[in-house]
């Protein structure tokens, strides 16, 4: 018995040793077959298991495996390769580029990666290199000109300024038309306050919160353009989605990287001013007059460049450091970044400090956990704009007076009647904004079976914001002469919980299926306190505690919103040749009435790789000429709910104390009248497209046609006084957006040492208002309007049977034949009603990127084109009112071609083109201030050089690159004002937005950057 036990024990030990001996560490290097360079980030997996590893920055990998198993090497843009494990412990692999791009991957809903070949809708990827090359602090601006169908407008050239983004026009008359931002599967906040601290929208446009994302932390950006692509994210993605994937750690040898960038900026373009007439009124010189309506300047008299001299050169610097490492089970990535930006206006700046930590760990073959935490602290200091007292006041200041002399002998402000001196404003009217933000997420991935995956992700985006605006004692602003202060302290949080259960199964080796069932819960909260005070008791102490107690006000705002959704995503394909996708989501929203809170929206899409089908049928033999062809089509429906708390009418902050029953609060007549019957609005979208490539992917063309209709709009609009309210929320109205997108990729030269590639994108969109509720013929946006001398001259508006992005403005009074109707003195008259005077939507946009690579030297530049798109030049209008515009140089007489309205006879009378004419007539009509906003610009040009590894390896470096970048170096436009890329009231204006309004904002800049990158 003992002998038998001994034999069994020896057999077990020998068997265990044999099993142990079979498992070994396999290592090697993965390189590119085209140039021999190492490939970092290649996935190395053991076929049939979940065990895997990734190559490090040098292309090296290590994985524990057994002889007889198969290693699968896969990399985006390359053909996958399998290798049987034999007796050797070192396996080196060379991956070839996928000439058909069949393995290209896009990150779609909730961080799920899908092959582009199987998608039935249009997406577009932007890689880390393209983002970094643009050298833009705001990630939204980094997408300018790179994605077909995406229109981006910067609000100003101030540090930390906001940028709006629209995909395929707009789908809402008064709601948010900007896409949802998603980082690592978690929706984040990209909101922009319309106004803060009681200031009007154009006075101090705030930052959009996507500016908090450090571009250096981004691996890729996928733009989901339509409802079919973004629908699974729910109603917040009705206008598309920007899906950001951040950098992760890779296994193997640790890597530390450092990069810096030093930027130098200068004002790009300024309006031209007249220097013929001096300061004065009614043709008579006057040293205290506001305008330039005096006598002629004498020859040789000093002329001051007040506008140009007000701006200085800006300087910015960025420093980023990251560390990455790990083994086959655990990887870690950490980064820290600093941006310090000084603007072209003194006392304007933006500082961002970012810290990020990401990690993933495989607990077992079936369980993996991971998470990311990102902390951002930003500080912005800027000044007021949008009026003569703001930063562009130099455009209104008489050239015969030195504006820089802004202090009197007693230290008080030296100014002109009615406006603050811009030099005084930049020192005594500061605006500051400080944000502390945490974006965190954690995920658990469990694979109980080879065919089943369960993923749970929990994330939150939390930030607090402190805004402060000071108007120093001595300001000329009416009611604030002794000083004023506004403060806003707020907290914002979005918490998201997502559960995904995915099953995959292949039938008969040809039919592949994948079904994902999911649950999503999103909770949004906001709380803010706005406090104001007037009259500083001590003029030198700008504190709320130093204001007169009886002038202080405090308002507390609280907002809550919750959305719950369940969804399903079914993917079917035959031999990876024909794909069919069915999607459906049901949402429950807290912002609409109870019986309408639940709403369902489906989507269906297909993708057919007809080039591969032809090959399968034996009708296509090779890829030499026709390499790849794909047809795609999709239809989708997506919903959108109402803003919080618009079902009921809000009450004012004062109580009823004057009637016979003095109790309770009075209805807030200045707010929107509530509508308890509001229902969700829906968008139905259809698109078709094709992707064809020739000569082994050297020429590729992707074309998409789309059409979407948004019905039953939830819109906030002005109503007739007889309705009992000036503003109300209504259901009604329809918008149709349709257009064409094209992407052309060409590789004219591919040689061992020299490569040249060209990427061209084109987009044409038209958004038309098909219907409006009741008798409305337009929807006006009160947050995007401009005035001259207190009279409303133009505003953003959507017109029935016209453009969603129209300009509603004043015109000369005419008859049905277009003839001017003049008064009895022969002067033109301003029509009493506003009408459509322009369309801000461009005819088309295009971007052309050229990249040349010769050995280690690279040159990349992008030409950005916008054709059409009107701009209302309110800066010019204000200059006319002040007498500094070249439009006012004609100060003689004129006989207007028209008829006298009272008699119907042709006009023969002349009128004086004097101060009265320009201020009370010409500046009060807006039509003459609408200009073509077309441009051709060199958006950026970057030259970079990578030092040979044989040189830098000697000093312990694995990579060393230097670069020089120029931004906006060339701008060709007929627009007479500043850079025509303007948005007068910032990115926070909903509906058709405020882009296309030039309203005395800080001009855009041009500049160049010096950069360094190294790693070891």
Query: Region 170-179: what's the mean pLDDT?
Result: 90
Distances (CA, A) of 852 to 145, 752, 757, 820: 19, 13, 7, 57
**Residue 2 confidence (pLDDT) above 50:** no
CA distance 505 to 194: 50
Task: Give the confidence band of 18 by pLDDT, cuts at 50, 70, 90.
Answer: very low
Answer yes or no: is pLDDT of 32 > 70: yes
pLDDT of residue 941: 96
At residue 215, the 3 state secondary structure works out as: helix
Q: Is the pLDDT of residue 6 over 70?
A: no
Nearest Cα to Cα of residue 435 among 658, 160, 674 = 160
Beta pairing partners, 791:
788
Q: Where are the domains of the chain?
A: 23-95, 123-270+311-642+678-805+840-869+933-1015
Mean pLDDT, range 129-155, rounded to an integer? 89
- Contact (Cβ atoms closer than 8 angstroms) between residue 750 and residue 721: no
Distance, in Å, from the CA atom of 882 to the CA atom of 124, rounded to the nearest integer, reads 47
Q: What does the pLDDT look like over 294-320, one tens digit per residue?
A: 999 999 899 999 999 999 999 999 999
d(CA 635, CA 684): 7
Judged against a pLDDT cut of 60, whether residue 538 lies above it is answered with yes
Please answer whether residues 370 and 442 qualify as being in contact, where contact means their C-beta atoms are separated by less than 8 angstroms. Answer: yes
34 pLDDT exceeds 70? no
- Given a cut of 80, is residue 700 above it in pLDDT? yes
Residue 250 and residue 247: Cα distance in Å, rounded? 9
Q: What is the average pLDDT across 271-292?
A: 93
Residue that wins the pLDDT comparison between 803 and 113 = 803
Tokens 């409305």 belong to residue: 776
Looking at residue 666, its pLDDT comes to 61
| pLDDT value of residue 723 | 64
pLDDT of residue 670: 66
User: CB neighbours (10 Å) of residue 850?
Assistant: 17
984, pLDDT greater than 80:
yes
Across residues 63-73, what is the average pLDDT? 89
- CATH level 2 (architecture), domain 123-270+311-642+678-805+840-869+933-1015: Beta Barrel (2.40)
Q: What is the mean pLDDT of residues 802-821?
A: 95
Which of 226-250 are b and which e, b meaning 16 or more Cβ less than 10 Å from the residue's Cβ?
A: bbbbbbbbbbbbbbbbbbbbbbbbb
Mean pLDDT, residues 24-35 taken together: 80
Rama region for 775: left / alpha / beta (φ>0; ψ in -120 to 50; rest): alpha
Q: Which helix (H) or strand (E) element contains residue 452? A: strand 452-471
What does DSSP say about strands 186-188 and 180-183: parallel, antiparallel, or unpaired?
A: antiparallel
Query: Mapping DSSP to helix (H, G, I), strand (E, B) and coil, where does residue 953 land?
Result: helix
Does position 918 have pLDDT exceeding 90, yes or no? yes
Fold adopted by 23-95? Immunoglobulin-like (2.60.40)
Residue 36's pLDDT band (cuts 50, 70, 90) = low
- Compute the distance between CA of residue 585 and CA of residue 593 in angstroms, rounded to an integer: 19
Please give the structure tokens belonging to residue 378: 């930003």
Cβ atoms 117, 76 nearer than 8 A: no
pLDDT confidence of residue 599? 86
Are residues 883 and 277 in contact, defined by beta-carbon separation less than 8 angstroms? yes
Torsion sign across C-alpha atoms 323, 324, 326, 332: positive
Q: Kindly tell me if the per-residue pLDDT of 765 is higher than 90.
A: yes
Nearest-angstrom CA–CA distance, 640 and 648: 19
Percent of the chain that is helix, strand, coil (3-state, to 5): 10, 50, 40
* Residue 15: pLDDT over 50: no
Calpha distance 23→42 (Å, rounded): 22
Rounded mean pLDDT, 415-440? 93
- Distance between CA 466 and CA 490 in Å, rounded? 7
Q: What is the pLDDT of residues 599-627, one digit of tens each?
A: 898 999 999 999 989 988 888 877 789 98
Q: Give the pLDDT confidence of 78-92 residue by residue, as tens digits.
A: 778 889 898 888 898
pLDDT at residue 594 tops 70: yes
- Burial class (CB within 10 angstroms; exposed 0-12, middle 13-18, buried 19+) of 1015: middle
User: Which pairing describes strands 241-246 and 180-183: parallel, antiparallel, or unpaired?
Assistant: parallel
Range from 70-84, 594-608, 786-800 carrying the lowest mean pLDDT:
70-84
In sequence order, the 6+-apart residues with CB closer than 8 A to the CB of 876 are: 271, 885, 887, 929, 976, 977, 998
- Mean pLDDT score, 270-293: 93
Are 809 and 872 in contact by the 8 Å Cβ rule? The answer is yes
pLDDT at 188: 95
The answer to whether residue 321 scores a pLDDT higher than 80 is yes
- The pLDDT of residue 379 is 97
How far, in Å, CA of 39 to CA of 41, rounded?
7
Which whole number is the average pLDDT over 401-415? 93
Cβ within 8 Å of residue 153, ≥6 positions away? 163, 164, 981, 982, 983, 987, 993, 995, 996
Q: Residue 317 contacts by C-beta under 8 Å, 6 or more apart in sequence? A: 260, 261, 262, 263, 338, 339, 340
- H/E stretch holding 517 reads strand 511-534
pLDDT at 20: 43
pLDDT at residue 50 in the model:
66
Q: Any residues with CB less than 8 A from the CB of 777 and at least 6 apart, and which? A: 799, 800
> Is the Cβ–Cβ distance between 381 and 349 less than 8 Å?
yes
Weakest mean pLDDT among 16-30, 361-375, 376-390: 16-30
Highest mean pLDDT (candidates 7-16, 42-51, 174-183, 738-747): 738-747
pLDDT exceeds 50 at position 1008: yes
Sheet with strand 60-66: strands edge to edge: 60-66, 23-32, 93-95
* Confidence at 797, pLDDT banded by 50, 70, 90: very high
Look at residue 3 and tell me whether its pLDDT is greater than 70: no
Position 233 confidence tier, pLDDT thresholds 50, 70, 90 = confident
Is residue 76 pLDDT above 70, yes or no? no
**Strand duo 870-873 + 997-998: pairing:** parallel
Q: Please check whether residue 812 is in contact with residue 925, taking contact to mean a CB–CB distance below 8 angstroms.
A: yes
Kindly tell me the sign of the dihedral angle through the C-alpha atoms of 746, 748, 753, 759. negative
Most confident of 46-50, 374-378, 419-423, 638-642: 374-378
Element of type H or E holding 17: helix 2-22
Paired with 465 in beta bridges are 435, 490
8 Å CB contact between 111 and 445: no
The pLDDT-based confidence of 251 (bands split at 50, 70, 90) is: confident
Q: What is the dihedral of CA 281, 284, 288, 293, to 10 degrees?
A: 40
Band (pLDDT 50/70/90 cuts) for residue 19 is: very low
Looking at residue 1004, the DSSP 8-state letter turns out to be: P
pTM of the predicted model, to two decimals? 0.89
Average pLDDT, the chain: 90
Mean pLDDT value of segment 115-128: 88
Judged against a pLDDT cut of 90, whether residue 510 lies above it is answered with: no
Extract the tokens encoding 606: 């297909």
């Amino acid at each position: 018995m003992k002998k038998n036990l001994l034999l069994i024990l020896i057999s077990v030990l020998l068997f265990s040793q044999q099993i142990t001996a079979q498992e070994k560490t396999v290592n090697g290097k993965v390189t590119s077959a085209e140039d021999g360079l190492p490939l970092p980030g290649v996935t190395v997996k053991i076929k049939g298991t979940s065990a895997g590893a990734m190559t490090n920055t040098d292309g090296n990998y290590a994985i524990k495996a057994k002889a007889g198993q198969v290693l699968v090497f896969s990399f985006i843009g390359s053909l996958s390769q399998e290798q049987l494990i034999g007796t050797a412990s070192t396996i080196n692999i060379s991956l070839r580029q996928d000439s058909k791009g069949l393995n290209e991957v896009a990150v779609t809903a909730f961080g799920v990666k899908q092959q582009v070949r199987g998608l039935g809708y249009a997406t577009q990827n932007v890689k880390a290199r393209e983002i970094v090359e643009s050298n833009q602090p705001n990630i939204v601006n980094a997408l300018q000109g790179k994605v077909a169908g995406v229109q981006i407008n910067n609000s100003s050239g101030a540090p930390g300024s906001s940028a709006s983004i629209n995909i395929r026009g707009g789908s809402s008359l008064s709601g948010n038309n900007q896409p949802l931002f998603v980082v690592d599967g978690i929706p984040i906040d990209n909101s922009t306050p319309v106004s803060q601290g009681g200031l009007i929208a154009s006075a101090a446009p705030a930052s959009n919160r996507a500016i908090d994302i450090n571009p250096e932390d981004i691996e890729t950006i996928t733009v989901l353009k339509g409802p079919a692509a973004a629908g699974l994210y729910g109603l917040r993605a009705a206008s598309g989605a920007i899906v950001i994937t951040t950098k992760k750690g890779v296994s193997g040898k640790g890597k530390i990287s450092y990069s810096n960038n030093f930027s130098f900026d200068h004002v790009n373009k300024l309006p031209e001013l007249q220097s013929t007439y001096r300061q004065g009124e009614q043709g008579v010189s006057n040293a205290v007059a506001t305008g330039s309506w005096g006598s002629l300047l004498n020859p040789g008299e000093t002329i001051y460049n007040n506008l140009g001299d007000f701006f200085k050169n800006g300087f910015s610097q960025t420093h980023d450091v990251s560390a990455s490492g790990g083994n086959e089970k655990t990887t870690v990535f950490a980064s820290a970044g600093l941006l310090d930006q000084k603007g072209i206006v003194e006392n304007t700046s933006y500082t961002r400090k970012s810290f990020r930590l990401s990690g993933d760990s495989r607990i077992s073959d079936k369980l993996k956990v991971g998470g990311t935490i990102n902390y951002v602290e930003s500080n912005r200091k800027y000044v007021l704009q949008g009026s003569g007292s703001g930063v562009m006041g130099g455009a209104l200041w008489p050239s015969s007076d030195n504006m820089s002399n802004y202090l009197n002998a007693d230290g008080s402000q030296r100014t002109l009647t009615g406006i603050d001196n811009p030099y005084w404003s930049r020192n005594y009217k500061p605006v500051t904004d400080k944000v502390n933000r945490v974006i965190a997420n954690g995920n658990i991935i469990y694979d109980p079976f080879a065919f089943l995956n369960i993923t749970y992700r929990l994330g939150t985006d939390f930030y607090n914001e402190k805004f402060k605006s000071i108007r120093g004692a001595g300001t000329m602003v009416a009611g604030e002469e002794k000083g004023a202060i506004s403060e806003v302290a707020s907290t914002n949080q979005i918490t998201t919980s997502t559960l995904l259960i995915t099953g995959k199964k292949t039938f008969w080796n040809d039919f592949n299926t994948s079904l994902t069932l999911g649950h999503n819960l999103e909770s949004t909260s906001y709380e803010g306190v706005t406090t104001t005070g007037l009259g500083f008791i001590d003029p030198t102490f700008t504190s709320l505690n130093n204001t007169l107690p009886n002038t202080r006000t405090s308002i507390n705002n609280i907002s809550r919103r919750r959305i719950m959704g369940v969804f399903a995503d079914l993917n079917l394909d035959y031999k990876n040749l024909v794909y069919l996708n069915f999607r459906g989501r049901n949402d429950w929203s807290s912002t609409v009435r109870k019986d309408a809170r639940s709403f369902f929206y489906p989507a269906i899409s297909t993708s057919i790789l007809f080039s591969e089908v032809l090959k399968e049928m034996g009708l296509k033999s090779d890829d030499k000429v026709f390499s790849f062809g794909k047809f795609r089509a999709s239809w989708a429906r997506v919903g959108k709910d109402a803003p919080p708390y618009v079902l009921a009418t809000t009450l004012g902050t004062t109580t009823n104390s004057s009637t016979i029953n003095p109790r309770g609060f009075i209805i807030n007549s200045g707010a929107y009248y509530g509508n308890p019957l509001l229902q969700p609005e829906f968008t139905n979208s259809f698109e078709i497209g094709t992707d064809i490539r020739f000569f082994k992917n050297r020429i590729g063309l992707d074309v998409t046609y789309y059409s979407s209709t948004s019905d039953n709009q939830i819109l906030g609009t002005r109503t007739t006084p007889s309705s009992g309210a000036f503003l109300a929320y209504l259901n009604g109205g329809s918008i149709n957006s349709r257009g064409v997108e094209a992407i052309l990729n060409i590789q004219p030269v591919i040689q061992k040492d020299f490569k040249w590639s060209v990427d061209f994108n084109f987009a044409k969109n038209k958004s038309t208002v098909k219907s409006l509720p009741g008798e409305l013929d337009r929807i006006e946006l009160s947050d995007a309007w401009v005035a001259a001398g207190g009279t409303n001259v133009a505003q953003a508006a959507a017109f029935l049977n016209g453009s969603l992005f129209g300009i509603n403005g004043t015109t000369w009074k005419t008859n049905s034949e277009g003839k001017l109707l003049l008064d009895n003195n022969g002067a033109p008259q301003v029509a009493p009603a506003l009408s459509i005077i322009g369309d801000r939507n461009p005819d088309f946009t295009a971007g052309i990127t050229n990249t040349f690579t010769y050995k280690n030297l690279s040159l990349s530049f992008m030409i950005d084109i916008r054709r059409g798109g009107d701009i209302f030049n309110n800066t010019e209008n204000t200059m006319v009112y002040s007498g500094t515009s070249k439009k006012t140089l004609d100060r003689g007489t004129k006989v207007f071609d028209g008829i006298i309205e009272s008699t119907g006879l042709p006009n023969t009378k002349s009128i004086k083109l004097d101060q009265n004419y320009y201020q009370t007539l010409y500046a009060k009509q807006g039509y003459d201030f609408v200009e073509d906003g077309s441009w051709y610009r060199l958006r950026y040009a970057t030259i970079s050089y990578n030092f040979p590894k044989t040189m830098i390896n000697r000093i312990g470096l694995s990579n060393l690159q230097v670069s020089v970048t120029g931004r906006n170096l060339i701008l060709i436009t007929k627009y007479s004002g500043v850079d025509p890329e303007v948005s007068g009231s910032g990115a926070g204006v909903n509906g058709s937005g405020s882009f296309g309004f030039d309203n005395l904002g800080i001009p855009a800049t041009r500049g160049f950057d010096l950069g360094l990158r190294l790693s070891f």
